[in-house]
Chains A and B, each alone.
Chain A
Amino acid sequence: MKKSLALVLICLGSLALIALYLFWGHPSSNIFWQVRIPRLVLTLVTGMSLAAIGSVYQLMLANPLAEPYILGISSGSAFGSIIFASLGLYILMPLGGFIGALITMVLVWRLAQRRGAFDRGRLIIAGVIVGMFFSAGISLMMYLRREDTVLILNTLMGNLGRIFSYSEYRVFVLLSAVILILLIWLYLKSRALDIMSSGDLYAASVGIQVHRLRQHIFVVTSLIIGIVVSYAGIIGFVGLITPHIMRLLGFSRQNRIYPGSLLFGASFLLAADFLAKNMAGIELPVGVITAAIGCPFFIYLLLRK
């Protein structure tokens, strides 16, 4: 009863948020359609993706601290898009991010294999190390290209205020559709993930092709992160805390946690971006806001339990 009430409240809250987000400050119809709607789509897709992947990783890696960026994909993606930006190819930044994510993904996956077998611990270590390597690359770029410092900071702290050109927007909508399909695919794997969390041997005994499934999930999530980071930069906390909040609300099975995370992640990021946009005269980095709201909220939930 309590669970469904919470879900209904989150649903209503997110609808109210969307309305507030779109109509705040009486925008003209041009601004409404050309600036706010694209930003809304970007925010929702980003929030959903981060929270969804967070929930999948926490289960798959059996690590409550797992979050979408733990496997280094985000740093690789950010590095790729920053390289493209510093070459003056601002329009192609998402492509750079995507290439960066792909390279990181292949690298991390290869490093995680040990004599053909998958090792959870190795995967995390490989992810952290590769991530650190690309972070160093980003720091180097920031040092060498002073004129692009704002852009790099933006990528590192999250920026949902991207200006789209008409053709860019078409590509983005297409990629968002791809993300949605991949997110649905991940939902369909909820049961298998639950079973896998009880051990590979057991999962294999009930007919799950553990290695292949893990590889597929890894590729799919990397793709999603690559796309999201290249458009919105790195936004922390959403992927980490959302699944925990779902669990604290009383959900325990992945096929409940996952859709709940999707919903909550999207509304949480929307609220954060609304504050980032309107709280101060200057637009604040959204990653700072997610951390600023996320931490105390999370502590409150922990203490209440």
Chain B
Amino acid sequence: MKHLYYSALILIILSTLCSCHSPKQDNAGRYVVLSPEIAEIIVALGAGDKIVGLTQECSYPPELLEKEIVGNFGAVKMEQILNLNPELVFTSALEQESIAEDLRKLGIRVESSYPKNLAEMQTEILRIAVIIGREAKGRELVSSIAGQIQKVKEMAEGRPVPKVYLEIYRDPLMSVADNSFVGELIETAGGDNVFQTLERDYSRIKAEDVIKANPDIMICYSQDSLSDIISRKGWGNIPAIKNQMVFFEGDIDPDLIQRAGPRCVIGMIKLNEIYALWERLTQ
């Protein structure tokens, strides 16, 4: 009798386990996007309505604010993503590489995109456009971006070139290299990023090197205030600080120049305006 009970129990458990198969319902055109820049690109391609889940950082354009949040850039809730039953999940690099790996193990199709420069950004926009079936719109967007980049280059031509220092963190000091995405924007807009090469695109730097580089313009994303920057020991003679050519998040939104998305052209125009202001006031 006892044996019968056990066998029945095992049978029930086994049959329950066997019925756990992935629900392959119709999920065409449902995208979960973990990378803020890809979210912007998808909206620009006119497919914002197909996004069903996002990370906290994906806050632009405002229409995305109504979508379901599945976590933040570095930590997502896997079950929530599965529940959304996406056809495709878009991820970036860095912390998201391991998330992408986990999602693939769960049998979900993942597309990663992490453009490191303007040229890559344009090919990536096209690739994403093809993936989501908006190829024509993609071509249109890329050619408009290319045209705007050309315009920015023309605006910068023949103007004096300011040395630009971008501070992304204060303690420890961190800045960007020329071959980072931001670095390329700074240079394309007509400035000279002070750190040509660093160990990484975004890297720790020495205070001594900033003082030595003598930047004309400082862009400060490290939450520091002008009065604090002025009072830093040994920084008072840096032209950017002496002439108060220090710009903050309120002056130029970090998302405009740190995200490899369509808005980066606006970022470059803003940078160009800052350079023009510097030229007017100091040259």
A binding-site residues for B, Cβ under 8 Å? 27-28, 30-31, 33-36, 38, 85, 88, 90-91, 93, 143, 146, 150-151, 154, 159, 161-167, 169, 277, 280-283
Find out whether the CB atom of B206 lies under 8 angstroms from the CB atom of A30. Answer: no
15 sample A-B contacts, Cβ–Cβ < 8 Å, listed by A number:
A27-B208, A28-B211, A31-B234, A34-B233, A35-B208, A35-B211, A90-B223, A91-B228, A146-B74, A151-B169, A161-B173, A165-B232, A165-B233, A167-B231, A282-B199
CB within 8 Å of A: which B188-239 residues: 197-200, 203-208, 211-212, 223-224, 228, 231-235, 237
Chain A: minimal CB distance from B161 (Å): 23
Q: Does B171 contact A (CB under 8 A)?
A: yes
In the bound complex, do residue B174 and residue A150 qualify as a contact, i.e. CB atoms below 8 Å apart?
yes
Known interface pairs A31-B212, A35-B211, A38-B233; A90-B203 also in contact (CB < 8 Å): no
**Interface status of B73 (Cβ within 8 A of chain A):** yes
Nearest residue, chain B, Cβ from A85: B171
CB distance from B75 to the nearest CB of A (A): 8
Question: Which residue of B has the minimal Cβ distance to A143?
Answer: B75
Residue of B nearest to A282 (CB): B199
Contact residues of A: prevailing secondary structure = helix
Interface size on B, residues (CB 8 A): 32
A30 touches B211 (CB 8 A): yes
Q: How far, in angstroms, from A30 to B235 measured CA to CA in the complex?
A: 9
Residues of A within 8 A of B233 (CB): 34-35, 38, 163-166, 169
B51 to chain A, nearest CB (A): 22
* Number of A-B pairs, beta carbon distance below 8 Å: 81
Say yes or no: A159-B199 contact (C-beta < 8 A), given A33-B234, A34-B233, A90-B223: no
Question: Which residues of B are found within 8 Å of A166, using beta-carbon distances?
Answer: 231, 233
- The distance in angstroms between the C-alpha atoms of A281 and B75, with both chains bound, is 31
Residues of A within 8 A of B224 (CB): 90
Could you tell me which B residues sit within 8 Å of A by CB distance? 72-75, 95, 169-174, 197-200, 203-208, 211-212, 223-224, 228, 231-235, 237
B206 in complex: contacting residue of A85, A93, A277, CB < 8 Å: A277
Please determine whether B172 and A161 come into contact, CB atoms closer than 8 angstroms: yes
Question: When chains A and B are docked, how far (Å) is the Cα of A20 from the Cα of B231?
Answer: 28
Question: In the complex, what's the smallest C-beta–C-beta distance from B213 to chain A, in angstroms?
Answer: 12
Closest B residue by C-beta to A81: B171
- Chain B residues with CB under 8 A of A85: 171
Q: Which residues of A contact B173 (CB under 8 A)?
A: 161, 163
Bound: A88/B224 CA distance, A: 9
What chain A residues lie within 8 Å of B174 (beta carbons)? 150
**How many Å lie between the Cα of A151 and that of B198 in the bound state?**
19
Contact (A281, B74) CB under 8 Å given A35-B233, A90-B223, A151-B171: no
CB neighbours of A280 from chain B (8 A):
199
B200 near A151: Cβ-Cβ < 8 Å: no
Q: Cα distance A150–B204 when bound, in Å?
A: 9
A38 cross-chain contacts in B, Cβ below 8 A:
233
Q: Tell me how far the C-beta of A80 lies from the nearest C-beta in chain B, rounded to whole angstroms.
A: 15
Q: Give chain B nearest CB distance to A145 CB in angstroms.
A: 11
- Whether A281 contacts B199 in the complex (CB less than 8 A), given A151-B172, A154-B171, comes out as yes
For residue B212, which residues in chain A have a CB less than 8 angstroms away from its CB?
28, 31
Contact at B72–A35, with CB atoms within 8 Å? no
Q: Max chain A CB contacts within 10 Å: which of B72, B171, B172, B204?
A: B171
Q: Are A283 and B211 in contact (CB under 8 A)?
A: no
Q: A35-B211, A169-B233 are in contact. List 7 more A-B contacts (CB 8 A).
A: A33-B234, A36-B208, A88-B223, A90-B170, A165-B231, A165-B233, A282-B203
List of B residues within 8 angstroms of A91 by Cβ: 228
Could you say which residues of chain B place their CB within 8 Å of the CB of A162?
171
Query: Quick one: given A150-B169, A282-B203, are A165 and B228 in contact (CB under 8 Å)?
Result: yes
A240 to B14 Cα, complex, angstroms:
57
* A163 vs B208: C-alpha distance when bound (angstroms): 10
With a cutoff of 8 Å between Cβ atoms, the chain A residues found around residue B205 in the complex are 283
Chain A residue numbers with a CB within 8 Å of B232 are: 163-165
